Amino acid sequence: MSKNILVLTGSPRKGGNTDKLADAFIAGAQQAGHITIKIAAADKHIKGCIDCQTCFSRGSACSISDDFADLAPLLEQADMVVFATPMYWFSFPVQLKAAIDKLYSYLISKRTLKIKECALLVSGGEKKLNAYDGIVKSYTLIADYLHWKDSGIVIVPGLHGKDVLKTDGLNRAETLGKSIV
């Protein structure tokens, strides 16, 4: 059975390592028969959540007028979400974090998303794998809190320039995409 997979990218750099990881995952998922859509959070103007508690009170998921209004319907249609991101200061970049924070609108309004699983693709310049513990912990807490199954994590460390092409990262991302059932 095919799934609707939303791939949210967090990098402000177009065509960089994160985009290449996302594209490899998408290629694998499409080979497995899934429908994918890729959205670059950096191309959206999503303001941070201000905990106003007025979610869904003005006709859209968030009461703040921004591009989350365009993203919310895609989240509502998705069976799976994939966060493809560089690691910035041991966590998600602000462009993606703002979108993640606005998932709160579904919790506060007691609305459920049909998303049942998620995955994480991370690129980063740091070589030490333990430097990625923060972003992985944040991701696993998000998945647990939202009752999403973690379908896999691909971390590609030590990248500079477009080094992802010199690693097995693209193959691992594509393999993860193919493994989604």
Summarised one tens digit per residue, pLDDT across range 67-79 is: 999 999 999 999 9
Q: What is the pLDDT of residue 56?
A: 93
Is the entire prediction scored with pTM above 0.75?
A: yes
Q: What residues does 156 pair with on adjacent strands?
A: 123
| Mean of all residue pLDDT scores within the chain | 96
**Triad 144, 181, 35: Cα angle to 5°:** 95
Q: Is 91 left (phi over 0), alpha (psi -120 to 50) or beta?
A: beta
Provide CB contacts within 8 A for 115, sequence distance 6+: 75, 78, 79, 80, 81, 146, 148
Provide CB contacts within 8 A for 26, sequence distance 6+: 5, 7, 36, 38, 177
Q: What is the C-alpha separation between 139 and 21, in angstroms, rounded?
A: 17
Q: What is the pLDDT of residue 158?
A: 92
Q: What is the DSSP string of 56-78?
A: TTTSSS-SS-STHHHHHHHHHH-
97 has pLDDT over 90: yes
31 pLDDT band, cuts 50/70/90, is very high
178 has pLDDT over 90: yes
Q: Dump pLDDT digits (tens) for 141-169.
A: 999 999 999 999 999 999 988 888 889 99
CATH of 4-26+37-175, one of 3.30.70.2190, 3.40.50.720, 3.90.1150.10, 3.40.50.360: 3.40.50.360
